Structure 1
Amino acid sequence: MNLSYWEIKSWLANIDFTVVGSGIVGLNCALQLKSKFPKANILILEKGMLPQGASTKNAGFACFGSLSEILEDLRNHTEEEVFGLVKKRVEGLKLLRQTLGDGKLDYQQLGGYELFTQHDDLLELCHAKKGEINNLLKPIFKSDVFAIKDNMFNFKNIKEYYIFNAFEGQLDTGKMMEALLNKAQTKGIKILNNINVEDFSEDNVSIKIKTNQFEFSTSKLFIATNGFASQLNIPDVQPARAQVLITKPIKNLHIKGTFHLDRGYYYFRNIDNRILFGGGRNLDFKTEETTKFAQTDLVQNKLEELLRVTILPNIDFEIDHRWSGIMGVGNQKKAIVKQLSNNVFCGVRLGGMGVAIGSLIGRELADLLH
């Protein structure tokens, strides 16, 4: 790349900390590092034009898990582990709101609803286990989280009751990331976009980083690439694509809140008088285990069908836009926050809960540097 003396001197010389990924984890990590080391020269490298993975692609749910998701987690984790996961998500959301303020997030606590299809016996299981889970989570929320409510939204082919969670909120993902980027830049943190880190090597003094545009050295490296972690040889993180669509504005839209369906594999919400609807990864897990941003007919057709038959029956709607995001998942829900070598650290595998835990994981990643 044809870099001038000034460009190298101003942007790529004497870098103390390099963060890979300008998503919610990377930005929070950089902000925390700047707070701990005010004089540090910090550079963030982002492979996309915007934060590429899931931070600007997600549905904007400020949630910590529906009742059926928590029950599912208890099949693979201990009660203590599940309690810890929920606690971390709640603390992460609190930290996010403290960092940016509800106004900048457009945060609204309209509650969350879990719906159950007519042929699914999951509602009965959730009903039976509701008291047990409320007791498990009571130390966090100081009251019952989950309650049974009547179906008041005129959804079709849905059981007449659903599980309501008053503690769930929603936010504007774009505003969240814009506010985080602004905050980082006002602190003097440099951000370079369209830079893909291809490789790095470490000696006792520094780390040499090779990108698609240039090579440079840094004292410490923090990897916050979540779903793309395996591309930098971090094991135990699989990419998981989530496909989303949004309708054009709908007059007199009666749906307010965040909604979960089929163990959280489908989710929808209101935003700007539209319905934002995502999910369907469970229709074809293997195909959706990818870092490729794209949509498939299988998933998109299913989303449209559910909109037409279940969510917006007897309402004319048009699809305005479709997109996808890449999450990082694994066989455990716990995020990987660890030191990889003398000067390399990572905070990855957010398990689809990036909005909830991203701020906290970013802080923990920076805190690895004592």
Structure 2
Amino acid sequence: MRLASSRPLTRSYWLQSLQENLQPTLALEGEHDADVAIIGGGFVGLWTALTLKERDPNINVVVLEQDICGGGASGRNGGFVMSWWPKIGSLLSFCTKEQALFLAHAAEHAITELGEFCEQHQIDAHYVRRGWLWTATTPAHIDSWNSTLESCARLGAAPFERLTKDAVAQMSGSDVHLAGVFERSNATVQPGALVRGMRAVALQAGIRIFEQTPVGSIEPGNPVRLVCTKGHVSARSVVLANNAWAASVPELAKLIVPVNSSIVVSEPIPSRLEQIGWTGQQSITDSQLMVDYYRTTRDGRIAFGKGTGALAYGSQIDETFSSHPESIALTEADFRRTYPSLASTPITSAWSGPIDRTYDSLPVFGTLGGSPNIHYGIGWSGNGVGPSRLGGRILASLALGVKDEWSTCPLVGRSCKTFPPEPFRYWGGSVVRNAVIRKERAEMSGARPSAIDRMLAGLAPAGLEDKA
């Protein structure tokens, strides 16, 4: 099977600020052998490699990355380290109560583990654990979280706190926020610094990392042969951890659709943040389907993102997922609407990035049909910084052929709603996306969306949080 590759994406602000640490490892040349070869050097691939080394220090692990580690989604996201409590309703749709609690608690504990990992390895990833606000910025979205809180209550869990309107406005620094709930366990990181720090730990552990090494094709067998530009790798097991790029594999293309998300970053404004009262370092998202997500940085900037949802025909990872002017304009417009007092604050950096979206916004793991030694973990849907720790455990168990709580968890081999093939995927997805934009613009202005837009928007995949 052939794999799609793309030229390196435009660097995000997170990686631009780490220029001195971006020297790539050598590209792969010649013939190499491995016990496990991992395609993708982001959070999922590196956690898988590190977990394999934890379990067997002598295992021969190779990571193949077409750009640099973090050049894809792992170095382009908002740096939100979230749990799966907002997705508890989706978990319960295919898990027992016990299984849903296991995964939700494990995802919450992964936030703690990430902080401990950074401390242990002295990674300055700007890890800050100050919680997450889930808000409504229009009356139509108030109480969007009720079904999620009710599901948690039925399970005996209470991860969220309801807040008054005044409390939400004060914590967020904006009166645009009308209501909200608070999840105390969540954190933020500088994602570029985290992924580059993980890379350094992996290299120290003896994991071989080849950057600027796209895999052109996979030849199944025992061993699997990975064909690269200037060499080959023969591996007993292969892990596909290439997220949105996995859509080039026909068997996986139906499970995910790559959509874009965009982020704008302001100049440093620490004194203005103090004036508006946004000093608690909480991360925030609103309740739009094309969600706004935003946080402050160590040097007093605002990083404001939006799940802008643009697609590319054939799921090609092109400029749509690097620097997409329309999406960046939508993102900046929502930043100005949310913080009108900062209307004159300059934007100093902007970019887009790929999200591998499943229909329910939870990942899926499995093994390719007819290839018992090729495994995948895809569909992180914009929430991979924290849960990727669990993904590394699941994929390590699959690669090792170990039957344990990770390889047998309900995320493995689950039945998912699938996306249509082209051209229906692109044209139909674009029609639905435009309906969502019109619907949410109407809601933000206090108008009632048209019936056709409400109907079409209902066909969209689930967002970052479950909705009522």
Q: Which TM-score applies when normalising by structure 1?
A: 0.84
Aligned to 1:182: 200
Question: Does the 8 Å CA contact 2:69/2:199 hold for their aligned counterparts?
Answer: no
Give 1:158-197 correspondences, 5 Å limit. 158-159=177-178, 161-197=179-215
Contact 2:261 2:327 in 1 (8 A): no
Aligned to 1:106: 126
Q: Secondary structure at the match of 2:390?
A: helix
Deviation at 1:299, TM superposition (A): 2.2
**For residues 216 and 251 of structure 2, what CA distance do their matches in structure 1 show?**
13
CA displacement at 1:245 relative to structure 2: 1.3
Alignment of 1:39 onto 2:58: yes
**1:8, distance to aligned residue in structure 2 (A):** 11
Judged with a 3 Å threshold, the aligned counterparts in structure 2 of structure 1 residues 326 and 249 are, in CA distance, closer, same or farther, namely same
| Aligned partner letter, 1:110 | R
10-19 or 215-224, which moves further after superposition? 10-19
Residue 344 of structure 2 aligns to a residue in which SS? coil
Identity of aligned residues (%): 21
User: 1:343 Cα shift?
Assistant: 2.1
Structure 2's unaligned 5+ residue stretches are: 1-25, 402-468
Q: Deviations over 1:71-106 (max 9, x none)?
A: 6x4897678476565334213323433433386332
State the AA in 2 paired with 1:364.
I
Which residue of structure 1 lines up, in the alignment, with residue 406 of structure 2? none
Query: Which of 281, 286, 290 is equivalent to 2:308?
Result: 281
Aligned match of 2:286: 261
Structure 1 segment 225-240 matched on structure 2, within 5 A? 225-235=242-252, 236-240=255-259
**Which position in structure 1 is the counterpart of 2:70?**
51
In structure 1, C-alpha distance between the alignment counterparts of 2:331 and 2:250, rounded to whole Å:
34
Quote the residue 1:4 is aligned against: none
User: 2:264 touches 2:305 (CA, 8 Å); kept in 1?
Assistant: yes
- Give the distance between the partners of 2:304 and 2:382, measured in 1 at CA: 15
**Residues 222 and 288 of structure 1, relative CA distance in 2, 3 Å threshold:** closer
Asked if residue 335 in structure 1 is aligned to residue 354 in structure 2, the reply is no
- The answer to whether the aligner puts 1:217 opposite 2:268 as a matched pair is no
3-state SS in 2 of match to 1:273: coil
1:358 matched to 2:388: yes
Larger mean Cα displacement after TM superposition, 84-93 or 348-357:
84-93
Task: Compute the displacement of 1:313 (Å).
Answer: 1.8
| Aligned: 1:241 with 2:260 | yes
**1:25–1:75: structure 2 CA closer, same or farther, 3 Å change rule?**
closer
Q: What one-letter code is carried by the residue in structure 2 that aligns with 1:326?
A: P
Q: CA deviation at 1:291?
A: 2.1
Matched, 1:93 2:123: no
Question: Any unmatched runs of 5+ in structure 1?
Answer: 1-6
Q: Secondary structure at the match of 1:115?
A: strand
CA distance in 2, matches of 1:76, 1:281: 26
Residue of structure 1 in register with 2:163 after alignment: 148
Q: Deviations over 1:102-124 (max 9, x none)?
A: 86332212221123223x32214
SS in 2 for 1:243: strand
C-alpha distance in 2, partners of 1:228/1:136?
38
**Residues 359 and 280 of structure 1: CA distance in aligned 2, closer, same or farther (over 3 Å):** closer
State the 1:310 CA deviation.
2.0
Who is 2:450 aligned against?
none
Query: Cα gap change, 1:285/1:75 in structure 2, threshold over 3 Å: closer, same or farther?
Result: farther
Q: What is the Cα deviation at residue 303 of structure 1?
A: 1.9
Matches of 1:179 and 1:61, distance apart in 2: 17
Partner SS state of residue 259, structure 1: strand
RMSD of aligned Cα (Å):
3.1
1:3 equivalent in structure 2: none
Offset from partner CA, 1:156-205 (integer Å, 9 cap, x none): 4432x3322222221121221122111100011111111111111123x4
Structure with the larger strand share: 1
Letter in 1 for 2:300: N
Letter of the 1:360 partner, please give it. L
CA contact (8 A) 1:53 1:227 kept: no
In 1, Cα distance between equivalents of 2:331 and 2:61: 42
Q: Deviations over 1:41-85 (max 9, x none)?
A: 221100113333211111111122685x666x4897678476565
- Letter of the 2:129 counterpart: Q
Offset of 1:216 from its aligned partner?
Answer: 3.5
The equivalent residue for 2:317 is 291
Query: Given that residues 40 and 63 in structure 2 are in contact (C-alpha distance below 8 angstroms), is that contact kept between their aligned partners in structure 1?
Result: yes
In 1: Cα distance, 2:392 partner to 2:148 partner: 32
Higher RCO by CA contacts (8 Å cutoff, separation 6 or greater): 1
Q: Per-residue displacement from partner, 1:199-245 (whole Å, max 9, x unpaired)?
A: 11123x41221123323322221111111112234421221221111
Counterpart selection for 2:49 from 30, 41, 52: 30
Please name the residue that 2:346 is paired with.
318
Take 1:14 and 1:131, find their aligned partners in 2: how far apart are those partners? Answer: 49
Return the offset for 1:27: 0.9
Is 1:270 matched with 2:270?
Answer: no
Q: Aligned in 2, Cα 1:290/1:148: closer, same or farther, shift over 3 Å?
A: farther
2: CA distance between counterparts of 1:82 and 1:297?
Answer: 39
**Residues 82 and 239 of structure 1, relative CA distance in 2, 3 Å threshold:** farther
Deviations 1:313-369 (A, max 9, x none): 255311111112222121244422223223212222222211121111011101111
